């Protein structure tokens, strides 16, 4: 007899029998559900606590930066990487230490910081920023091919002008002036007239060697006159 045609008493009996037959499974399911809810809440609590700790450490980091306490800057940045590697605060600290290292000409240290940031950041926009800075440092180290490859890998439209300028720098270093001209022109097309740094791109474009003029076609020799026999 189908379930939908049973009367109320019969339906109650069916339900009770099913409950008795499956009591253990139900109890286990409830227990697992409660554990999952409890575990999720515990995980969320730990995550929030970790975020709070990372924020506090980053505040100490920025205070050390403002106070020019370089030893503290280095140690706090290292602690953020060790204790909160997946936190954006650790990535921000790595970007800052990379900038300071590059300013001192320590491009190997800057590249290491940027590679770490690039590998650990989740936000695609910040990853693009780290990639472009790594490309710039790589170019400063003399590897224009690697710098160009890094720049080409950045697809975020927010950094399109910066990417094109950097591509122009790498191509100019490689002696590919015509391609560099195209890249600089593309960068200028994305920059407003009042955008800071536009004049720098214009100067880079103006400093490129002139395009080689196409070779003139070889003159066709005049046909020799036939001699009278």
Question: How confident is the model over 101-126, as a mean pLDDT?
Answer: 92
pLDDT grade for 24, boundaries at 50, 70 and 90: low
What is the pLDDT of the chain when averaged over all its residues? Answer: 81
Look at residue 88 and tell me whether its pLDDT is greater than 90: no
At 13 the pLDDT is: 58
Tell the residue number behind the tokens 């450490």, with chain if given: 57
**CATH number reported for the structural domain that contains residue 165 in this entry:** 1.25.40.10
Nearest alpha-carbon partner for 167 in 157, 152, 154? 152
Q: How much of the chain exceeds pLDDT 90, in percent?
A: 47
Total domains, the chain = 1
Q: Is residue 152 part of a domain?
A: yes
Q: Which of 122-131, 193-202, 208-217 has the lowest mean pLDDT?
A: 208-217
Residue 218 is assigned to a structural domain of this protein: no
Question: Of 87 and 20, which is predicted with more confidence?
Answer: 87
Identify whether 149 is part of a domain. Answer: yes
Q: Is residue 127 part of a domain?
A: yes
Residue 42 lies in a domain: no
pLDDT of residue 138: 96
Question: Is 183 part of a structural domain of the chain?
Answer: yes
* Residue 162 within a domain: yes
Question: Could you tell me if residue 182 is inside a domain?
Answer: yes
Tens digits of residue pLDDT in 65-78: 888 898 988 999 99
> 195, 192, 186: which is closest to 166 by C-alpha?
186
Alpha helices (runs of H) in the chain, residue ranges in sequence order: 8-21, 23-66, 70-83, 88-103, 107-120, 124-140, 144-152, 160-173, 177-189, 198-207
In terms of pTM, does the model score above 0.85? no
Residue 119 and residue 131 in contact, taking contact as beta carbons nearer than 8 Å: no
Select the more confidently predicted residue: 45 or 169: 169
Range of the domain at 166: 123-208
What is the average per-residue pLDDT within 122-144? 93
């Amino acid at each position: 007899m189908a379930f939908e045609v049973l009367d109320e008493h019969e339906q109650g009996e069916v339900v009770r029998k099913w409950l008795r037959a499956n009591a253990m499974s139900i109890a286990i399911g409830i227990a697992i559900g409660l554990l999952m809810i409890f575990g999720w809440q515990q995980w969320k609590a730990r995550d929030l606590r970790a975020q709070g700790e990372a924020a506090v450490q980053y505040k100490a980091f920025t205070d050390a930066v403002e106070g020019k306490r370089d030893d503290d800057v280095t140690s706090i940045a290292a602690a953020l990487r060790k204790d909160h590697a997946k936190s954006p605060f650790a990535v921000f600290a790595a970007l800052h230490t990379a900038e300071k290292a590059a300013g001192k000409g320590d491009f190997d240290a800057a590249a290491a910081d940027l590679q770490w940031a690039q590998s650990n950041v989740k936000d695609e926009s910040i990853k693009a920023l780290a990639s472009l800075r790594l490309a710039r440092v790589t170019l400063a180290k003399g590897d224009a091919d690697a710098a160009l490859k890094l720049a080409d890998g950045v697809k975020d439209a927010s950094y399109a002008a910066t990417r094109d300028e950097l591509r122009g720098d790498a191509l100019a270093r490689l002696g590919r002036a015509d391609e560099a001209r195209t890249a600089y022109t593309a960068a200028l097309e994305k920059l407003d007239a009042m955008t800071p740094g536009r004049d720098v791109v214009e100067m880079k474009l103006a400093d490129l060697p002139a395009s080689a003029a196409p070779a003139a076609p070889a003159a066709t020799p005049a046909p020799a006159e036939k001699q009278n026999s």
